[in-house]
Chains A and B, each alone.
Chain A
């Protein structure tokens, strides 16, 4: 292998590509040839680095210097300074919010150094399209050990020792699931990967598939051996074209290397995989619906039992694991279940990947040990709330989850503790909301989603969610009545009790948690016809609150129709004749002084 003086790792995840990382790469290549450095410097495209908000990103090794927000224009300067003169460029490095000093090395940035990488251990380090790079990082060693040295029982025991629980949200122990399926009678069995990541606000699976597709394939090979399956399917949503492309490349390469197909590594074990593209139905993330969909039917859930471990795809014993779960498996086999279980809490072992988004400074993908308090995620890793706004809630678990308020921020992240708050661990979406987000509005937003995505099989879910949505729309439009909150609570309980699958059983959670923790906001909407977050259009008066106005004039400057009169040291006044109710002033005002 050739040796280079420096390796430049450019992030080519969906986020950075959208921010222009491929143009940055091209500019770098041209500049490096121009400076005749092509034999000294190597450029590598990697999967998602995680710190998506700062993209396009590049990490320079051996020093580990982290460059952010690169553009093709600043490349010539960067190459000359850093690679010719040996002076890393501070102006392109990361500065934490509210600080002035830059942090050059990636490992010193709080966003990165509080994380523990297991499922994402290869992120930003390898080229996802080169199987050799995965193998160089101990790739397929776990599969080799499982196929050549272990019996199915030993694999399952290792998984049970690890305490790994399904990362798709429900948290069922993976080892026990495998054991059920391994013991089920039948010649033909299947292992499936659930990559139908439909939760709005979640992108963990996409990042894992884009950054380290072989880890998922290897996890499936090990699972196949454990349960005795010879065919697997990867169900990935069609909205993730880059993930599908990388998976296709990975499967082709694995076949060429004899890591998929007949007689893998000479073990006598056959296993192959196919990709199945989801066609855009959220309910297909539910295991029985996903199987019905692969069978070519409307993706509707089936009653359980029989459980898929006995009668799954085409009525054959089937295991379905989430992308992140599978990515953890090779290391568990290689390093042992006990090693994995050494991290985490009593009942939730290992790490969990979260997509941290919304009103937070460090948006991106993080992997943290189970048991870490939410506060540490939001303030230390996430860097707190931008624009000097106040934290209001963190939404976990997407449309099946709930909003956790400030008072519960010391809750440790594990399955049981999060469930106690009324939210769920879910697949890992973590959307932070500040004081400008209306809690009734957010409940309405999620219910719109579940209403639309309800498959229609169960009446309580199909009609119940519609009635709840109508009520929430009324409340946001200022037509709420006494008794609405109680009606919502009643309906929610009925829908939870009487729906067949997880979608219906959890659909009311966003409404229930917002009522539980933010009942005053509901009451303000209903009784006072006022939206405390100044967000529901029908309840806005477009008036300045004199006591809160700091007379800064930002609203007047930003108003697109010059409807706001303001003079120095005077409270702004909105001319309602001219006002077009675009809410620009409300967004601009940092003091919540316009209602």
Chain B
């Protein structure tokens, strides 16, 4: 299977336990999320138990176990963003894109994720789409921001 070849390439760099998290990160970057077959393949290739791998992966907020949209929107909920009203931004985003919880949109274009702090507090409230930051947002600016990704 093609996806096996892709992930085996990444898995071949596994030497010891300390490579587990970097490997999970690279697999997620490649596949978008960590599916059960992918986790099983890690088990086969590394010799670690499934419980160990799943235990580590679920501990860290970065890892996802559901498919995500093509574009990942991270909404910052840090102190500065909280004080400057990021709740309203998230509400506007959810309404505009019709996303519920952490499910991707119906067209598969977007997923939304709440993040503890992006560290761009001067620009609060802030969101990050893929690797790009958008700051000083207001609910009525949301449409313009996401237009570029449609």
Contacts and interface: CB of A to CB of B under 8 A. Distances in A.
B18 to A, nearest CB: 4
Question: For the side of the interface on B, what is the size category?
Answer: 35 or more
Contact of A281 (B61, B120, B126): B61
Given A201-B79, A203-B120, A296 B133 contact: no
Interface stretch (A168-176, A179-187, A256-264, A354-362): A354-362
A364 B80 contact: no
Interface string B119-147: 11111101000011111100000000000
B59 A299 contact: yes
A293 B17 CA distance: 10
A234 to B, nearest CB: 13
Interface in B94-133: 115-124, 126, 131-133
B122 A296 contact: no
Interface residues of A, number: 51
Contacts of B132: 18
A431 B80 contact: yes
A233 to B, nearest CB: 10
A506 interface: no
A296 B135 contact: no
Contacts of B63: 279
A453 B62 CA distance: 13
B135 A363 contact: no
Interface in B53-88: 55-56, 59-63, 74, 77-80, 82-85
A437 B82 CA distance: 10
A431 B123 contact: no
Interface string A442-475: 0001100100010100000000000000000000
B-side interface mostly: mixed
Contacts of B59: 281, 298-299, 455
Interface string A282-320: 100000000001111111000000000000000000000
Contact of B79 (A52, A293, A429): A429
Contacts of A281: 59-61
Given A17-B133, A277-B25, A299-B60, A398 B119 contact: no
Nearest to B84: A358
B44 interface: no
A200 B82 CA distance: 10
Contact of A453 (B18, B116, B133, B136): B116
Contact of A280 (B62, B85, B134): B62
Contacts of A201: 78-80, 117, 121
A293 B21 contact: yes
Contacts of B134: 18
A241 B116 contact: no
A203 B121 contact: yes
A295 B17 contact: yes
A280 B120 contact: no
A52 B123 contact: yes
Given A15-B135, A201-B117, A280-B60, A431 B79 contact: yes
A19 interface: yes
A102 interface: no
27 contacts: A15-B123, A15-B135, A19-B135, A19-B136, A53-B122, A199-B117, A200-B79, A200-B80, A201-B79, A276-B22, A279-B21, A280-B61, A280-B62, A281-B59, A296-B20, A296-B21, A298-B55, A298-B59, A299-B60, A358-B121, A363-B80, A363-B121, A364-B122, A431-B83, A445-B82, A446-B79, A453-B116
Given A15-B122, A239-B119, A433-B83, 8 more contacts: A52-B122, A55-B122, A203-B119, A239-B117, A280-B61, A297-B17, A363-B122, A455-B59
Q: Which 4 A-B pairs have the closest CB atoms?
A: A52-B122, A201-B79, A200-B78, A279-B60
